[in-house]
C-alpha cells in the first residue's frame, strides 16, 4: 500500500472541495489495515465515498479511503438471506446486486451515494426505509485498542441519521464489513406518499422490488443534483424534531406547514427542513459558487470553485435565518471536517 503526501481530496469528496490531505492512502486489504495500524499516523480521518462530508480545511495526519470489497451470501433459508459486503463497496452497487438476485429490502434505498461502511454510521434512510430495518451486524476495527469488534443492531444505537459511530465512538472504529438480512419474498414499503403516488401515476399496480427501485431512482434524479455534475452531499441539514406546541403556534402563521408524526413520541413532530428553507426564501439562491439547490432546498451545492468555508458560511446564514423566523435550530446532517 502506498501512503502519499500532499494529495488533493477534490476527487474524493462529492462536494468537490479542493482541500489537501497531509497523507493519503487507500485501504484495500487486511494487510493494508495492519500496515496502517503499524504506521500509527495521527490524526486518522476515515473516508468512504466522501458523500456526507464538508471539508473546511486541509487535513493533517492521514486520510484513509476505505475500498474493502466483496459481496457474499452468508446464509440462506427459504424466505431470507443474510448477505455481507465489504465496507468499501459502493452502496448502490450493493442495491443493484440485491435486485439482480431478487432479494428485497434495499429497493427504497436505491441510488444513495456513498459506501456500505458509511451506511450504518448515519443510518441512511430514504422513502420510508432506513438501514436499521435490514441491518444484521457489522465488523469494525477499534483503532484505540487495535482489535476486531462485532456490533449487533442494539450496539449501534441507531436513530434518525444517527448511531454510536457519530457519537461515543466517533472516529474510533474503522468499519470493515456489514451484514444485512434481506427477504426472498419481500413485503414492499410504499408508506412514503411520493413513492406510492409515482407508482400509481406510472400505472404500476402490483410492483416488484425492481419497479420500486426504478421509481425511487427516477424521483431522486428529478430532485437531487448528480454529484458528478454539481458538487453536493445530499441533504445538508436534518429534518428538525420539534415540540408539538411549537408546531401548533407556527401553524397559525403558516397553515400549510408540513409535519410528520413521530411514532412513539407524541410530544414531538418532525418538520420538513426543506420547506422552512424554501419559505425563508433561500431556494435557488447563490452566494459566489455556494448555493441552495433550485429543486430541493435541503441540498447545498458547489457550482464549481466554492471552498468548504463558503459552503459553511452559507449554511450558517441559513441556520441563523431559520432560527430567527421559526425559532428552530437546524442541525447539519453532513459531517463537517
Ligand atoms: N419540500 C419543500 N421544498 C423543497 C423540497 C421539499 O417544501 O425544496 C417539502 C415538501 O413538503 C415535501 C417535504 O419537504 O413533502 C419532504 O421533502 P422530500 O420528500 O424531498 O424529503 P426531505 O425530507 O427533504 C429526506 C431525506 C433525504 C431522502 C428523502 C426521501 C433527510 C435529512 N433527508 O429529505 O435524504 O432522500 O427524505 O426520503 O432526512 C440525505 O440524507 O442526504 C437525503 C437526500
pLDDT tens by residue, 233-252: 999 999 999 999 999 999 99
CA distance 140 to 322: 38
**Catalytic residue list:** 161, 235, 333
Pocket test for ligand 1, best of 122, 235, 237 (most atoms within 8 A of CB): 235
When the pLDDT of each residue in the chain is averaged and rounded to a whole number, the result is 96
Query: What Å distances lie between residue 265 and 135, 163, 242, 268, CA to CA?
Result: 23, 19, 11, 6
Predicted local distance difference test score (pLDDT) of residue 244: 95
- Contact 194 CB / ligand 1 (< 6 Å): yes
Q: Is the pLDDT of residue 263 over 90?
A: no
Predicted local distance difference test score (pLDDT) of residue 137: 98
Confidence of residue 165 (pLDDT cuts 50, 70, 90): very high
Confidence of residue 201 (pLDDT cuts 50, 70, 90): very high
Predicted TM-score (pTM) above 0.85:
yes
Predicted local distance difference test score (pLDDT) of residue 265: 79
User: Between 209-223 and 91-100, two packed helices, what is the crossing angle to 10 degrees?
Assistant: 150
- Contact 293 CB / ligand 1 (< 6 Å): no
Q: Is the pLDDT of residue 223 over 90?
A: yes
- Contact 91 CB / ligand 1 (< 6 Å): no
Q: Taking residues 64-90, what's their average pLDDT?
A: 98
Confidence of residue 162 (pLDDT cuts 50, 70, 90): very high
Atom of ligand 1 minimally distant from the CA of 160: 39
Predicted local distance difference test score (pLDDT) of residue 287: 97
Task: Give the other-Cβ count within 10 Å of 330's Cβ.
Answer: 23
Nearest CA to ligand 1 atom 34: 235
Q: Who's near 290: CB < 8 A, 6+ residues apart? A: 300, 301, 302, 303, 306, 310, 311, 313, 314
- Contact 112 CB / ligand 1 (< 6 Å): no
Nearest CA to ligand 1 atom 6: 274
Q: Taking residues 110-137, what's their average pLDDT?
A: 97
Q: Measured in whole angstroms, how far is the alpha carbon of residue 157 from the centre of its chain? A: 16
Domains along the chain with CATH numbers: 4-66 (3.30.43.10), 71-183 (3.30.465.10), 231-336 (3.90.78.10)
- Contact 278 CB / ligand 1 (< 6 Å): yes
Q: Is the pLDDT of residue 261 over 90?
A: no
Predicted local distance difference test score (pLDDT) of residue 262: 87
15 close to 54: Cβ distance less than 8 angstroms: yes
Q: Taking residues 70-95, what's their average pLDDT?
A: 98
Q: Taking residues 19-23, what's their average pLDDT?
A: 98
Amino acid at each position: 500500500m502506498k501512503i502519499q503526501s500532499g494529495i488533493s481530496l477534490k476527487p474524493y469528496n462529492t462536494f468537490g472541495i479542493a482541500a489537501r490531505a497531509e497523507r493519503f492512502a487507500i485501504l484495500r486489504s487486511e494487510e493494508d489495515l495492519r500496515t496502517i495500524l503499524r504506521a500509527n499516523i495521527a490524526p486518522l480521518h476515515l473516508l468512504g465515498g466522501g458523500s456526507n462530508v464538508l471539508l473546511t480545511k486541509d487535513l493533517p495526519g492521514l486520510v484513509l479511503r476505505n475500498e474493502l470489497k466483496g459481496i457474499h451470501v452468508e446464509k440462506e433459508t427459504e424466505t431470507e438471506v443474510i448477505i455481507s459486503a465489504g465496507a468499501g463497496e459502493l452502496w448502490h452497487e450493493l442495491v443493484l446486486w440485491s435486485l439482480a438476485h431478487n432479494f428485497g429490502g434495499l429497493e427504497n434505498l436505491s441510488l444513495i451515494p456513498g459506501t456500505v461502511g458509511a451506511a450504518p454510521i448515519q443510518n441512511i434512510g430514504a422513502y420510508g426505509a432506513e438501514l436499521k430495518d435490514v441491518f444484521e451486524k457489522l465488523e469494525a476495527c477499534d483503532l484505540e485498542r487495535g482489535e476486531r469488534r462485532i456490533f449487533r443492531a442494539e450496539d449501534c444505537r441507531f436513530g434518525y441519521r444517527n448511531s454510536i459511530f457519530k457519537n461515543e465512538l466517533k472516529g474510533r472504529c474503522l468499519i470493515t464489513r456489514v451484514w444485512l438480512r434481506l427477504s426472498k419474498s419481500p413485503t414492499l414499503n410504499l408508506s412514503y406518499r411520493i413513492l406510492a403516488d409515482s407508482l400509481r401515476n406510472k400505472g404500476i399496480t402490483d410492483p416488484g422490488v425492481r419497479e420500486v427501485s426504478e421509481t425511487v431512482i427516477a424521483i431522486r434524479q428529478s430532485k437531487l443534483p448528480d454529484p458528478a455534475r454539481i458538487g453536493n452531499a445530499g441533504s445538508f441539514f436534518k429534518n428538525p424534531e420539534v415540540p408539538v406546541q411549537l408546531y401548533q403556534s407556527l401553524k397559525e402563521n403558516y397553515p400549510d406547514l408540513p409535519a410528520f408524526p413521530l411514532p412513539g413520541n407524541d410530544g414531538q413532530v418532525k418538520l420538513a427542513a426543506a420547506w422552512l428553507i424554501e419559505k425563508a426564501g433561500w431556494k435557488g439562491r447563490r452566494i459566489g459558487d455556494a448555493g441552495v439547490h433550485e429543486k430541493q432546498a435541503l441540498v447545498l451545492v458547489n457550482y464549481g470553485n466554492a471552498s468548504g468555508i463558503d459552503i459553511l458560511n452559507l449554511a450558517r446564514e441559513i441556520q441563523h435565518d431559520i432560527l430567527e423566523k421559526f425559532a428552530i435550530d437546524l442541525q447539519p446532517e453532513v459531517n463537517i471536517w
